[in-house]
Amino acid sequence: MLARQVEVGMFEALKALEKYEVKPFEDGYEGSPSHDFIGRMAGDWDWPGDVLTASRTVALWNLEGVAAILLEASGVTYANQTGGHACLQSCAEGILIPFNDDTPLEDPDNALCRRLSRLLESAQFLTPTLADQIDVALATDSHTKCATVDRDRLRDSHEAWVYVDLRLEADGLLQGPGPLGLVSVPSA
């Protein structure tokens, strides 16, 4: 019932905008904006934004190492199975930045990817203590020292999917305005 009232309200608003020739509502694709709205609500045509915001999806299920996703409009969505046994299907739009994660030959279990996987194993969300441990692991690698766990998104972070703040450093991997991102690691 509420959805119907919203539709009627939007239709009436479009008619008023058209009547007073408020740009860009003075005309439509199929006559008038109110006619376009009716056609789209009936499912006869796609909404213009559906075509413009369509994105490609890249699955990170076979990701071998650690990567950051800069959270910004890119037209590409990255997806990963996360959350341990919960088998969540997490996804985010952005720009993928794979971090160098050379496996130490003398101690393969000390690779950043494996250390993060052990820390995050079955984590349904992060605690401040776990976030501190992840920060220590990220700080030990020259390629990931720019990332720290975003304390405002602890409840959104979980196994294989950690929201981070990315700091820019003069000699670092990232340059430009300080972005928000997330770090994706292979799922356990």
Note the pLDDT of residue 127.
Answer: 94
Please indicate whether residue 18 or residue 166 has the higher confidence score (pLDDT). Answer: 166
Read off the tokens for 30: 């199929």
- Checking if the pLDDT of 174 tops 70, the result is no
Strands 76-82 and 88-93, by their bridges, are antiparallel
- CA 111-108-86 angle, 5° bins: 60
Cα-based distances in Å from 59 to 76, 118, 142, 174: 11, 22, 26, 23
Give which of 87, 161, 156, 90 is closest to 125, Cα–Cα: 156
Tell me the pLDDT tens digit for each residue of 48-97.
554 445 478 888 888 888 888 888 888 899 988 888 877 888 888 888 88
Note the pLDDT of residue 45.
Answer: 57
Note the pLDDT of residue 130.
Answer: 95
Please indicate whether residue 56 or residue 100 has the higher confidence score (pLDDT). Answer: 56
- Checking if the pLDDT of 149 tops 90, the result is yes
Region 120-130: what's the mean pLDDT? 90
Give which of 178, 149, 147 is closest to 163, Cα–Cα: 149
Domain boundaries, the chain: 2-52, 56-184
Note the pLDDT of residue 51.
Answer: 43
Note the pLDDT of residue 31.
Answer: 64
Note the pLDDT of residue 41.
Answer: 66
Residue 92 in contact with residue 71, Cβ under 8 Å? yes
Q: Nearest 5°: phi and psi at 58?
A: -115, 120
Give which of 92, 32, 99, 14 is closest to 65, Cα–Cα: 99
pLDDT, mean over the chain: 77
Strands 76-82 and 56-59, by their bridges, are parallel
Note the pLDDT of residue 113.
Answer: 85
Note the pLDDT of residue 50.
Answer: 46
Give which of 163, 141, 160 is closest to 70, Cα–Cα: 163
pLDDT band of residue 180 (cuts 50, 70, 90) is low
